Amino acid sequence: MSGTISRWWRQGRQQLARVPLSMARVPDAPALPLRDPWPGDAARGANLLRGSLDFAGGKIGIWPEGFLAQANSPGGGLPLLRAAAHGFGWLRDLRALGTDAARVRARDLVDAWLDAQPDGQVSLAEVAGSRLCAWLSHYDFFAATADDAFRQRLMARLVADARALAAALPTEEMDSRAIAAVKGVVAAGAALPDHGSLLTRALKVLGQELERQILPDGSHAERSPARMLAVLADLVEIRLHLAAARAEPPPILAGAIDRLAAALRVLRHGDGGMAVFNASREDGPRPVELVLAQAGRATRPAMSLPDGGFYRLAAGRSLVIVDGAAPPPPRLDRLAHAGTLSFEFSVGRERMIVNCGTALAATHEWREGLRYTAAHSTLVIADTSSSEVREEGLGRRPQHVDARHEESTGAHWLHLSHDGWKRVFGAIHVRRFYLAESGEDLRGEDTVEADSPQPFVIRFHLHPSVDASLQQDGEAVLLRLPSGSGWRLRADGARMSLEPSVYLGGPEPRRSEQVALTGYADGPQQVRWAITKVT
């Protein structure tokens, strides 16, 4: 009942905020120029000149003649792509071109948007927040030299959206989208000082969201490296906007940025990109470095993130990152994967064992399939995921996940277990890791604790750059990294095979392979495996 009352109250505030202002209260231009700190992509900008917006591996057509008139094109109806179009973050890609044609196209697209028919994605809080930031931080690029009529329409819509979004705070969304919405109101409050209540409202809600979403070790509550990176980027922008307005930031903001930046470093592989858990992709070193550089002070990464549930085992040139916690709770799990106890393994700058990644702009089958346990480097029982994957989040999921991490003289031990299959099969998955001090010997043990034997497979998805060959005795797989370094995977207690896989953790889908360890029917419910360097 309290949720319903809150929703009614929020809707009432929004209706009042939408009451048209007299034109005397609509400024001719932002009083304060804002800066977008992120570089655009000129190649994507060139595609925008041709009417194509590239986002998250998908494409959608946007045109001055009708903005989303071609929404029925491949992928055009996907809410994610429509939200990206309405969020206008792509203005930085046109800015990166630096041409008059790009400037005119940006202005024409905004003009077309102002004339467009309403779309449900337009009023989503995080989309409105992104749009406010994009318009204000690119105003000098596309609007400063426009005619009076265009600027008047733009500013009227900007003020109306800012007031409505401020009235909607705190948003119904409890995840990172709430911070994106707050960012938009902060930008509007900074650039439009005559509307001072905007900034007051935004800063009050910002403190509440940071308290709720940023865990003590710096992890984000969604348990996604990608969401962590996005939230850190949003907080950096908020800090910049407040500094431009000479407004005092809430004390919690600086601490949240520092902790997030330190936690983000825990989840980076040696190539500088992110670990591929919970709807994340590598992203590559450059965007991650840009955000960390803007965040400021470099902090030595912690060994693990006990609150976020990620464990980092580093020795020699080897790095193992393990998902050792339950999925995020409801309302924070919309992008969560059923990858409990999965791991990734890299050597120097080369990835060896990975999870399959994400495809948020792909078809429903691909989006859901990549969230299944089988798309992760872990054990799966009877082709049933450890969490029930649903469109809006997760259903059944592990309730108890235990993890104990020990380190001695440079070697690591990690003991984990989860009960995700307890209700359906009466089974517990126990997984143990050992990484030697040299980093050249990674050993594991997977056990299914159940009253009766369960059919299971342990999967090791290989990065596409890894060359794998099953040795003649069928008891080992030789893994060759691009540098020529060789590693051998052996196992005891299961049948070993080499099977096709796919990797969507990079910029484009790539074929890959996986090593599958299939448990024997009515056989032992324990498999010991090892990945050792070939000398």
What residue spans define the domains of the chain?
Answer: 309-533
The predicted model gives 429-433 an average pLDDT of: 98
pLDDT at 61 exceeding the cut of 70: yes
* Distance from C-alpha of 190 to C-alpha of 320, rounded to nearest angstrom: 43
Predicted pLDDT at 24: 45
- CA–CA separation, 467 vs 229, rounded Å? 31
Q: What does the angle CA 125 – CA 127 – CA 132 come to, to the nearest 5 degrees?
A: 95
d(CA 318, CA 531): 11
CA dihedral (236, 165, 176, 371) in degrees, to 10, reads -140
Tokens of 269: 């592989």
Contact predicate 201/169, CB 8 Å: yes
Neighbours of 123 (CB within 10 A): 15
pLDDT of residue 300: 67
Average pLDDT over residues 415-422: 98
Tokens 């690591």 — which residue?
412
- Residue 5, pLDDT > 70, answer no
Tell me the pLDDT band of 521, cut-offs 50, 70 and 90. Answer: confident
Instruction: Give me the mean pLDDT over the 473-499 stretch.
Output: 96
For the entire predicted model, the pTM comes to 0.93
Question: What is the pLDDT at residue 1?
Answer: 47
What are the tens digits of pLDDT across the range 131-162?
Answer: 999 999 999 999 999 999 999 999 999 999 99
Q: Is the pLDDT of residue 6 over 70?
A: no
Give the position of tokens 């997977």.
446
- 21-55: pLDDT as tens digits: 544 479 999 999 999 999 999 999 999 999 999 99
pLDDT of residue 532: 98
**Quick one: pLDDT at residue 67?**
84
Token representation of residue 240: 């910049």
Evaluate if residue 11 carries a pLDDT over 70: no
Number of C-beta neighbours around residue 329 at 10 A: 14
Q: What is the pLDDT of residue 311?
A: 97
Distances (CA, A) of 480 to 59, 330, 517: 35, 41, 19
DSSP state string for 52-83: EEEETTEEEE-BTTTBSTTTTSTTTT-HHHHH
75 pLDDT exceeds 50?
no
Q: CA nearest 321: which of 270, 283, 285?
A: 270
Q: Does the pLDDT at position 318 exceed 80?
A: yes
State mean pLDDT over 423-446.
98
Other beta carbons within 10 angstroms of residue 189's beta carbon come to 25
Is the pLDDT assigned to residue 16 strictly greater than 50? Answer: no
CA distance 448 to 405: 20
Spatial separation of the C-alpha atoms in residues 260 and 115, rounded to whole Å = 40
Question: How many of the other CB atoms lie within 10 Å of CB of 88?
Answer: 22
Average pLDDT in the 281-307 region? 87
Is 117 a residue whose pLDDT tops 90?
no
Find, among 38, 48, 147, 42, the residue nearest to 105 by Cα: 48
Distance, in Å, from the CA atom of 165 to the CA atom of 199, rounded to the nearest integer, reads 12
pLDDT at 13: 47
Q: Indicate if the alpha-carbon torsion angle 12, 14, 20, 24 is positive or negative.
A: positive
The pLDDT of residue 58: 87
% the chain with pLDDT above 70: 93
Q: Are 85 and 113 in contact (CB under 8 A)?
A: no
333, 327 in Cβ contact below 8 A? yes
pLDDT value at 77 more than 70: no
Q: Which fold has domain 309-533?
A: Beta-galactosidase; Chain A, domain 5 (2.70.98)
Q: Do residues 188 and 48 touch, judged by C-beta distance below 8 A? A: no
Q: Where are the beta strands (DSSP E) in 301-340?
A: 304-305, 310-315, 318-323
CA distance 502 to 129: 35
Q: Which residue intervals of 402-461 are DSSP H helices?
A: 422-425
Distance CA 381, CA 422 (A): 11
- Would the pLDDT of 271 be above 90? yes
What percent of the chain has pLDDT above 90? 84
Average pLDDT over residues 63-70: 78
Which amino acid type is present at position 462? L
Between the alpha carbon of residue 32 and those of residues 139, 165, 249, 492, the distances in Å are: 10, 20, 17, 66
pLDDT at 355: 98
- DSSP structure class, residue 321: E
Q: Supply φ then ψ for residue 510, to 5 degrees.
A: -140, 145
Q: What is the pLDDT of residue 66?
A: 78
Average pLDDT across the chain, whole number:
92
Confidence bin at 362 (pLDDT 50/70/90): confident
Which range among 4-18, 235-249, 434-448 shows the weakest confidence by mean pLDDT?
4-18
| Per-residue pLDDT tens over the stretch 198-216 | 999 999 999 999 999 999 9
pLDDT score, position 226: 97
Q: Does residue 39 contact residue 33 with C-beta atoms inside 8 Å?
A: no
pLDDT digits (tens, 9 = 90+) for 367-385: 999 999 999 999 999 999 9
Contact between 56 and 84 under an 8 Å Cβ cutoff? The reply is yes
Evaluate whether 521 touches 455 at the Cβ level (below 8 Å).
yes
Other CB atoms within 10 Å distance of the CB of residue 404: 12
Question: Helix or strand or coil: residue 90?
Answer: coil
- Judged on CB neighbours under 10 Å (0-12, 13-18, 19+), 228 is buried
Position 88 pLDDT exceeds 50 = yes
Nearest-angstrom CA–CA distance, 491 and 472? 14
Give the per-residue pLDDT at 3: 53
Residue labelled with tokens 């009235």: 167
pLDDT confidence bin for 9, thresholds 50/70/90: very low
CA distances from 316 to 285, 287, 319, 421, 431 (A): 21, 26, 8, 35, 23
- Whole-angstrom CA distances from 491 to 75, 312, 474 are 43, 23, 10
CB atoms within 10 A of CB 18: 12
Tell me what pLDDT residue 7 has.
53
Average pLDDT over residues 482-510: 96
Whether pLDDT at 65 is above 70: yes
Q: Is 147 helix (H, G, I), strand (E, B) or coil?
A: coil
In this structure, the strands spanning 526-533 and 401-408 are unpaired
Dihedral sign for Cα 140, 146, 152, 157, please.
Answer: negative
Q: How much is the pLDDT for 301?
A: 64
Q: Which amino acid is at 379?
A: L
